[in-house]
Structure 1
Amino acid sequence: MIWSDMYFRLKSPSGDYYDLPPETDFSDLPEFPEGVAMVYWDYYHDEKKHYDNYIKLHKKLSDQTLFAGGAWIWNGVAPNYSWMAATLMPALEACRENGVSEVICTFWQDNGAETPMTAGNLSLTTFAEACFSGENGLQGEEQRVNGDYMEFLWGDGREAWWLLDRFDNVPGAGKNNRYADNPSKFLLYQDVMLGLFDEQIRDLGLTEHYQRLAEELAEYRSRHSGAHVLFEYYEVLARLLEQKAELGIRIHDSYHSGDRDYLAEAEKNGIPACIRLTERLADLRQKIWMEECKVFGYEVLDIRLAGVRARLEYAGKRLAQYLSGETDCLPELEEKRLVYAPDQSDGSHALCSCNFWQNIVSAGNIAGI
């Protein structure tokens, strides 16, 4: 197999993969090797017309064309099922109509493989159902796999799996989370004293969002004693985000308004609660990793989650120093908070995507150094 962007980018003035017009001529390119299949990969488009055009372009190069769609488990720490479904259905419909009979569901693991492999079960089943059902054009709720079938295959019904989509498909995200916003990742890792993403999420109500999500996950687990450990892991993550998502905002605002009572409450109760949840999260993530993967690679997540705990402990110490009079100023809280990545093209899109851990934990990462 050869993934076709190596050919298509040669014909694009910008070096892009997805901007070729239907009349593109490939006759000046090297002949495609005999016996090698061309893979058209596309995880980013939700219109069948685009896929139709691109399959036809691929067939100009090779009569052995495969399609690779995305499970979207690389959004960060939680799957992006909404965008998986929105891109998958028109793609597979186009494949069926254009005679592409072989397709691949990809499980990329960008930036640390933070989303458990098991979280891709819904994507796999949705993919298979769309391939073998013979039905075209299923969209939105209609395409979601029958709950009994999901439970038969994986032990948990579809309603439970779709709860995981709500970690990143939150108020302020684009339709179907088309921009791959991942607040569950950047709010998990961001430093509460530095608040790099605080203005990005201000007034979106994410504390209440994650509280409701945690309650629904807990309610599901109470009714299904045999639920996969994955759902306990995500319940703990939701409870941690409920506590931590806006903690930095409240600390910052209380510092500037002189609300020492809240700062004392955060130092005594809020931060320790986050630390306990982080420890439980790390234990569960380790258990899931060892069930799914070789040991190699877990050191990355171990270091990252230990860093969350360490920076929470630091925040507690700094607040204690301020409240005791050991220091009369916290420079971390003096700096003006800015919106991390404003979207100038879509006024309804308030959130952002940041899938590189090193860009979340510090503003001091300049050019990767």
Structure 2
Amino acid sequence: RGNLGCLAEHFYQLHQASLDDLLQLDLPNKTPSHPGPGHHGFNPSRYILYQDILCPLLQEHIDAEKDSAFYQELAPRLAEVGSRAKGYAYLFDTQAKLCQVLATKATISVGIRQAYQEGNRQVLAEQVDGLQQLRIDLESFYQALGYQWMVEKKVFGLDTVDIRLGGLDARIRRAIQRLQAYLNNE
């Protein structure tokens, strides 16, 4: 009881994978702005992912710069762990792609707001480019998550994922349209 070493050994015997590696799948929820149990903000990867670009109601729970840097560092790390995870590589691929999305999502709303308040049209134009890249990264994550879902759950519930991530993509497109309209003085 309570012997993590024994558990890790048995896990490896059963799955030919490292328990320490598998436990890294939870790292996207251990951000610098999330101090852990006892804090009111749980599951930061979820609320960062689904937070609206132009109306970021949960931004006060995010340390934009630290969390973004954390996700930037974590994405390639999870991809590397996935390269040795054999039958579990798809889990790490999904999480690595999620981290790539979260790295941008953590900061982009702050960048847009700051540039708007300062009247910095050049930075706003750069944010439009960032939003377009975010859509590409979101599509990559969507494909990886869809694959993972079909491996683990079959089709049941995938419609909810489609709606949520499709809605997120629609809000990103709307943010691009609104910023472009502003930049074109419309």
> TM-score range with shorter-chain normalisation?
0.7 to 0.9
How many Å apart are 1:145 and its aligned residue? 6.1
Who is 1:234 aligned against? 95
Letter in 1 for 2:165: L
Please give the alpha-carbon distance, in whole angstroms, between the structure 2 residues aligned to 1:178 and 1:275.
Answer: 31
Runs of 4+ in 1 over 6 A off after TM superposition: none
Partner SS, residue 211 of structure 1: helix
Partner SS, residue 246 of structure 1: helix
Give the structure-1-normalised TM-score. Answer: 0.46
Please give the alpha-carbon distance, in whole angstroms, between the structure 2 residues aligned to 1:292 and 1:312.
Answer: 29
Letter in 2 for 1:264: A
How many Å apart are 1:147 and its aligned residue? 4.4
How many Å apart are 1:146 and its aligned residue? 5.2
1:313 to 165, 173, 180: 173
How many Å apart are 1:166 and its aligned residue? 1.7
Q: Does 1:184 align with 2:45?
A: yes
Who is 1:273 aligned against? 133
How many Å apart are 1:222 and its aligned residue? 4.0
Map residues 87-98 of structure 1 onto 2, 5 A cutoff: none
Please give the alpha-carbon distance, in whole angstroms, between the structure 2 residues aligned to 1:175 and 1:144.
Answer: 24
Who is 1:194 aligned against? 55
Please give the alpha-carbon distance, in whole angstroms, between the structure 2 residues aligned to 1:256 and 1:296.
Answer: 45
Contact 1:169/1:176 (CA < 8 Å) preserved in 2? no
How many Å apart are 1:313 and its aligned residue? 0.8
Please give the alpha-carbon distance, in whole angstroms, between the structure 2 residues aligned to 1:223 and 1:292.
Answer: 20
The structure with the larger Rg is 1
For residues 155 and 256 of structure 1, do their structure 2 counterparts lie closer, same or farther at Cα, with a shift above 3 Å needed?
farther
Contact 1:198/1:246 (CA < 8 Å) preserved in 2? no
Who is 1:250 aligned against? 111
Please give the alpha-carbon distance, in whole angstroms, between the structure 1 residues aligned to 2:5 and 2:184.
Answer: 55
How many Å apart are 1:223 and its aligned residue? 4.6
How many Å apart are 1:172 and its aligned residue? 3.0
Please give the alpha-carbon distance, in whole angstroms, between the structure 1 residues aligned to 2:15 and 2:39.
Answer: 27
Which is helix-richer, 1 or 2?
2
For residues 166 and 252 of structure 1, do their structure 2 counterparts lie closer, same or farther at Cα, with a shift above 3 Å needed?
same
Map residues 92-171 of structure 1 onto 2, 5 A cutoff: 135=1, 138=2, 143=4, 147-171=8-32
What is the RMSD computed on CA atoms of the aligned residues? 2.3
Partner SS, residue 243 of structure 1: helix
What are the ranges of 5 or more consecutive residues in structure 2 without an aligned counterpart? Answer: none
How many Å apart are 1:233 and its aligned residue? 0.4
For residues 295 and 219 of structure 1, do their structure 2 counterparts lie closer, same or farther at Cα, with a shift above 3 Å needed?
closer
For residues 188 and 286 of structure 1, do their structure 2 counterparts lie closer, same or farther at Cα, with a shift above 3 Å needed?
same
Seq. identity, %: 32
Please give the alpha-carbon distance, in whole angstroms, between the structure 2 residues aligned to 1:180 and 1:322.
Answer: 34
Partner SS, residue 156 of structure 1: coil
> Larger relative CO (CA 8 A, sep 6+): 1 or 2?
2
For residues 204 and 274 of structure 1, do their structure 2 counterparts lie closer, same or farther at Cα, with a shift above 3 Å needed?
closer
Partner SS, residue 205 of structure 1: helix
Please give the alpha-carbon distance, in whole angstroms, between the structure 2 residues aligned to 1:153 and 1:254.
Answer: 53
How many Å apart are 1:198 and its aligned residue? 1.6
Please give the alpha-carbon distance, in whole angstroms, between the structure 1 residues aligned to 2:62 and 2:110.
Answer: 9
Please give the alpha-carbon distance, in whole angstroms, between the structure 2 residues aligned to 1:182 and 1:225.
Answer: 27
